[in-house]
């Protein structure tokens, strides 16, 4: 019987994993481990036919050669992002990488809107005041309505299009920039010709583009400098698309009034881990955490029951497909 090894198993994946295992009990054995793929594991794969990972930190390119030597030519990543893989090195070793391009776009879109609401209604500050029994009103908690805002959506794929529809449902004016405009969004939003045109007259910029090399720091100081003072920035995409240090400078000079950061470009060592009472040793992240007008969440925009189910089922289906047919539906380096 073929064997699949599942690395980085989280508690929240257990139910979905057991359901998948039961459905395929007659054709494959599944081995679960909470460990991430490290060098020591490469010596334990002789009888393994496929693997799936959920690592957020870079994968050592030398691992590809070791996997190939064990007859494993496919890795199923349990996330949409795959920037932790050196794809040229994977290609050189003959390793195919697959991802989960869409596991719950609605979850992420709703979270982006939720964080926008939190910023415009100052709910974080209100909660802090009430926690110390300060029930006063002042300008610091006076908010705005979503319908009064101009929303800028960068990227109108599966997630961005849904966010645009939700904001439109609130009555906001929605604008967007995308290299490939979606004709189905006519009447929902208005496309502009450049990112600079998008930011110059909006109140909220919400990011929904992939973390590809060409998108690294696409939202940078030059772009943010085009905004009118008071811009809110929402990033539920990949951390790398936003130049975090530039964002901090624009927060400090008042161009950006607030930000909600669910992904951080150097999040690997921190997000998903408990750093209580430990020094972060990351001055940029520390600065963000200390900033009164920044909301940080640890890459949880996707984190719903529906998303976890899909993040288990789709990669395991791909692993099984590759074992049987040497191909899978979601390979990113064909």
Q: Would you give the DSSP letter of residue 331?
A: B
Catalytic residue status for 238: yes
Ordered by start, the domain boundaries in the chain are 2-103+305-325, 105-296
Q: Which of 115, 238, 265, 330 is catalytic?
A: 238
pTM: 0.84
Q: The CATH number of 2-103+305-325 is which of 3.20.20.70, 3.40.50.720, 3.40.50.1220, 3.90.550.10?
A: 3.40.50.720
DSSP result, 53-73? E---SPPPTHHHHHHHHTT--
For residue 287, the number of C-alpha atoms closer than 13 Å in the C-beta half-sphere is 13
- What are the counts of helices (DSSP H) followed by strands (DSSP E) for the chain? 11, 12
d(CA 119, CA 317): 39
In this prediction, residue 125 carries a pLDDT of 95
CA distances to 15, 51, 134, 277, 282 from 19, in Å:
6, 18, 49, 37, 40
Which pLDDT band, with edges at 50, 70 and 90, does 267 fall under? very high
Q: What is the CATH T-level fold of the domain 105-296, as seen in this structure?
A: Rossmann fold (3.40.50)
Q: What is the tens place of the pLDDT at every residue in 296-319?
A: 999 999 999 999 999 999 999 999
* pLDDT tens sequence across 61-101: 999 999 999 999 999 999 988 989 999 999 999 999 999 98
Residues 6+ apart with CB under 8 A from 25: none
Residue 182, pLDDT score: 96
Residue 115 falls in the annotated catalytic set: no
- Tens of pLDDT, residues 121-178: 999 999 999 999 999 999 999 999 999 999 999 999 999 999 999 999 999 999 999 9
Q: Dmax over Cα atoms in the chain, in whole Å?
A: 67
What average pLDDT does the segment 209-223 reach? 95
- 125 has catalytic annotation: no
Alpha carbon 89 to its chain's center: 24
- Per-residue pLDDT, averaged over 271-282, amounts to 94
**pLDDT level of residue 57 (50, 70, 90 thresholds):** confident
The three-state secondary structure class of 200 is coil
Name the active-site residue from 267, 290, 324, 330. Answer: 267
Interatomic CA distance for residues 236 and 264, integer angstroms: 9
SS3 of 245, please?
Answer: helix
Mean pLDDT of all residues belonging to the chain: 96
Cα-based angle 2, 61, 9 (whole degrees, multiple of 5): 50
Edge-to-edge strands of the sheet including 50-53?
28-32, 2-6, 50-53, 74-77, 96-98
Question: Active site residue: 78, 162, 299, 330, which one?
Answer: 299
Q: pLDDT-based confidence at 17, cuts 50/70/90?
A: very high
Burial of 121 (0-12, 13-18, 19+ CB in 10 A): middle
pLDDT of residue 281: 92
What is the pLDDT at residue 97? 98
Mean pLDDT over residues 14-40, rounded? 96
CA angle 42, 46, 48 (to 5 degrees): 90
Could you list the beta-strand ranges (E) of 69-217: 74-77, 96-98, 150-154, 173-177, 190-191, 204-207
CB 246 within 8 A of CB 220: yes
Residues 91-109: tens digit of each pLDDT: 999 999 999 988 899 999 9
The band of 43, judged by pLDDT with boundaries at 50, 70 and 90, is confident
Residue 329 burial (CB count, 10 A): 11
Give the pLDDT band (50/70/90) at residue 40.
confident
């Amino acid at each position: 019987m073929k064997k699949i090894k599942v690395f980085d198993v989280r508690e929240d994946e257990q139910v979905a994993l057991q359901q998948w295992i039961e459905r395929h009990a007659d054709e494959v054995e599944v081995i679960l481990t909470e460990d991430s793929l490290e060098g020591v594991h490469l010596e334990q794969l002789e009888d393994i036919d496929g693997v799936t990972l959920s690592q957020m930190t870079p994968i050592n390119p030398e691992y590809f050669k070791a996997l190939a030597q064990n007859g494993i030519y496919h890795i199923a990543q349990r996330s949409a992002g795959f920037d932790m893989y050196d794809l040229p090195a994977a290609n050189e070793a003959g390793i195919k990488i697959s991802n989960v391009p869409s596991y719950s776009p609605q979850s992420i879109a709703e979270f982006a809107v939720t964080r926008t609401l939190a910023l415009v209604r100052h709910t974080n500050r209100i909660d802090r005041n009430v926690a110390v029994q300060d029930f006063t009103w002042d300008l610091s908690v006076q908010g705005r309505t979503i319908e009064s805002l101009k929303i800028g959506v960068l990227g109108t794929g599966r997630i961005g299009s849904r966010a645009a529809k939700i904001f439109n449902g609130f009555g906001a004016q929605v604008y967007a920039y995308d290299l490939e405009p979606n004709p189905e969004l006519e009447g929902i939003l208005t496309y502009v010709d450049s990112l600079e045109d998008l930011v110059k007259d909006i109140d909220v910029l919400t990011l929904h583009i992939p973390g590809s090399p060409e998108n690294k720091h696409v939202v940078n100081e030059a772009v943010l400098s085009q905004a009118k003072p008071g811009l809110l920035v929402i990033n539920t995409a990949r951390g790398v698309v936003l130049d975090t240090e530039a964002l901090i400078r624009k927060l400090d000079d008042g161009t950006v009034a607030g930000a909600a950061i669910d992904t951080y470009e150097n999040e690997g060592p921190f997000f998903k881990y408990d750093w209580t009472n430990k020094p972060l040793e990351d001055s940029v992240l520390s600065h963000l955490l200390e900033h009164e007008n920044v909301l940080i969440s640890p890459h949880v925009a996707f984190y719903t029951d529906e998303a976890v189910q899909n993040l288990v089922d789709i990669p395991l289906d791909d692993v099984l497909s590759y074992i049987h047919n040497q191909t899978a539906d979601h390979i990113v380096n064909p």
